[in-house]
Structure formats: C-alpha cells, structure tokens
Amino acid sequence: MTILRTSLLVLALLPAAGFAHHSFSRYNTTGNIDLEGDVVSVSWRNPHAHIVLRVKNPDGTTADWDLESGSPTLMMRAGVPTDPIKPGDHIKIAGYPLATATAATKEAFATNVLLPSGQELVMQTGAKPHFGGKTIGDFSYRFRTEGDRTKPELGLFRVWTFTGADGFLFPESINRNYDLNNYPMTPSAKAALAKFNPATDNPTNNCTPKGMPLIMEQPLPMELKKQGSDIVIRIEEYDLLRTIHMSQNATPANTPYTSLGYSVGHMEGETLVVSTDHISWTYFNQAGIPLSNKAVITERYTSTEQGSVLAYAMTVNDPVNFTRPVELHKKMLYIPSETIQPFNCAEASRAR
C-alpha cells in the first residue's frame, strides 16, 4: 500500500497555505503585494472573506481590486473581531499576488490589513506583522501539539480540533510542489488530471460542500457523538453531518449515491472502523485526481494519549483511478474550550 504523509517541516516552510481550507494554487505565496485604497464592499463569510478595494492609479484613475482573505471562522479563533472592516474605510493591504497576474489583473490574497485606527489585522496562518504597531490576530493556536488529557473517559465522543502540527491528510493541499505522481494513478486518472484546471475546476472554490474523502481533510473542529445505536460525526465545515450506521454490516440495496456516501461502522476494541461507499463526489482531492463511484473508503478513529489525541487513518480503494489502495493519516487534538461554530458560507461576488 502507498503511505502518503506530510510533515511539520513542510508546514514550517509553507505556512501561507492556510491549512488547506481551500486551494491556494491561484496565488503566488512567495510573492508580495501592497495596496492602499477605499473599501467598496466586504463579505465577511466563510469559506473566505472578500474585500473590494478601490485603488487610485498613478494617472489618477481608479481600479477595483478583488481581495480574498482567510476564513472568518479561523480568524475569529485567532482573536480577529467580527466585521472589522467597513465600506468607506481607507485601508492598506499586504498579501499575495495572483500566480498568473498580468498588468490587467486586479486580484490578490490579503494577509494583513492596516485599519484607519492604526491597528493591523493579521488575517492568515503564517502571516507576520507587516505595517508595524499594534497587531490583532494570533494564529499560534494552529500550531498546538498537545491536547488535554483530563477526560480519558470520554473516549472518541467529544469535539476534536485539527491544528496541522502533525501533518495534513492530503500533502498536496499544503505543499503546492508536491508530486501528484506519488499517488498510484491509473492511466485514465492521469489523463483526467492532465485536463484539470485548478483555477476554474477546483471543487472547493465555492459553497458546495465537499464530499468524501475530501471533507475529512477539513481544518475545523468536528464532533463524534452517539445517536441511538448509531454514531454521528458533526463537521463544522459546511455544517455537515455524517451518520455511521453501527447496526448494519453493509449498505442496503437501492441506497442512493450521495456526496458523503453511505457509512457503516463497528468497533475493534477502542477503534471505530467505518466503511463508506455509494459516493457520488467525483474528486479524490483538490488537485484534480478523480474519484469513481466504485470507490470504497475505510476509516479508523482511535482515541489515544489519555484522550488527548484522535489518531485518524483513511484507506481509499478505487480500482478505476488507483492501481492499489492509498493510505492517508492525520491527528486531531482534544481542546476543551473548542466548540462547533456555525459555518455561515456565502458565495463571494467578484469584482471583475
């Protein structure tokens, strides 16, 4: 089997990738852009905040820049206030230019904002203060490595938080230089990947909820809880619920295909083992590797280190797109103060 892992070293080298909430392949995260102007509009909603900024050109004309930024949910957890930027504010922005930028391009990713008050918002994981003075936004919690050990009796059933300190489920989501040929793709999968345009085809560019297996890479908390004889996984991203049918051994006949598929589970000692099939989601990852409706995904959830860590493992079997099973791993932490927050997703209106 193929084991694919990313590491803390990759995270340290590529902090600007924002914990893979959505793909950053559109932006040059090693570049820098500075802008100053008046705010035309703000959308402070998941999956990413958007600011339209009217910038005066050297010749006296103006241009409206469409500026994407971080997840408001992650910013809230970093101490960034809700709706800190208002239409009409005169602000300065630092961030990443579009990877395919031209002279006519008016898009960028905002990592830092200097408010009219002189305070600086740090709005993205890995971003450093840029303008000087007082900063708001501390993403150090995203690098936490230790969970709370005081509630081992809870076992699996609690809110689990992903920090990224131990690695990501899909290495290519954090490392834009990751070689996708590390995956054991079939010729048809490679052909489909060659046709994929990340700027236009990325399935996470909007508010359409991710399906299996991609949803399990999500960087926000999730909760495992018992519901009658079943287990429910409550996922903060997109406000999703997955039901694990614990009293069944297989998917019932005539079950419809859905983006999350149909999941049955059982316990092996302290480990929850889940098998999911009937998946209609057509992507294995954000980078364009396809997933067929013949895919079967096996997950293993184990509470370890006195309940402080959730060890998560996924095996993807897809005979159409992979020549052998693919194994993926990540860890989540138990942080008692964390709760599931409303996702409040909204499609962004682009200034084009």
pLDDT in the model for residue 47: 85
Q: Mapped to the 3 state alphabet, what secondary structure does 98-165 carry? A: ECCCCCCCCEEEEEEEECCCCCEEECCCCCCCCCCCCEECCHHHHHCCCCCCCCHHHCCCCEEECCCC
Residue position matching structure tokens 């079939």:
186
**pLDDT > 80? residue 206:** no
Where along the chain do its domains lie?
Answer: 31-143, 152-333
Give yes or no for a contact between 9 and 166, defined as CB atoms under 8 angstroms apart: no
pTM of the full predicted structure?
A: 0.85
pLDDT in the model for residue 164: 78
**pLDDT > 70? residue 215:** yes
Q: How far apart are CA 352 and CA 291, in angstroms?
A: 33
CA torsion sign, 235 to 240 to 246 to 248?
negative
Instruction: List own/partner pairs for 100-106 with CB under 8 A and 24 or more apart.
Output: 100/26, 100/199, 101/28, 106/63, 106/64, 106/65, 106/66, 106/351, 106/352
pLDDT tens per residue across span 38-51: 999 999 988 889 99
Q: What confidence tier does 1 reach under pLDDT thresholds 50, 70, 90?
A: very low
Q: What confidence tier does 351 reach under pLDDT thresholds 50, 70, 90?
A: very low
Beta strand pairing call for 326-333 and 309-317: antiparallel
- The dihedral over CA atoms of 96, 99, 102, 105, expressed in degrees to the nearest 10, equals -60
Q: Is the peptide bond before 213 cis (omega within 30 degrees of 0)?
A: yes
A 10 A CB-CB count for 195 gives 9
Tokens for 14, please give them. Answer: 């590529």
pLDDT tens per residue across span 306-344: 999 999 999 999 999 999 999 999 999 999 999 999 998
Question: What is the pLDDT averaged over residues 296-314?
Answer: 97
pLDDT tens per residue across span 70-96: 889 999 999 999 889 999 999 999 999
Question: What is the pLDDT averaged over residues 220-235?
Answer: 97
**pLDDT > 70? residue 352:** no
Beta strands in the chain (DSSP E): 2-4, 33-43, 50-56, 62-68, 90-97, 107-114, 120-122, 135-136, 159-160, 222-227, 230-235, 240-245, 262-268, 271-277, 296-304, 309-317, 326-333
**pLDDT > 60? residue 150:** yes
pLDDT in the model for residue 25: 63
Half-sphere exposure of 158 (CA within 13 A, CB side): 26
Instruction: Give the class (CATH, top level) of 31-143.
Output: mainly beta
Question: What is the pLDDT averaged over residues 106-127?
Answer: 94
pLDDT in the model for residue 99: 81
Percent of the chain with pLDDT over 70: 91
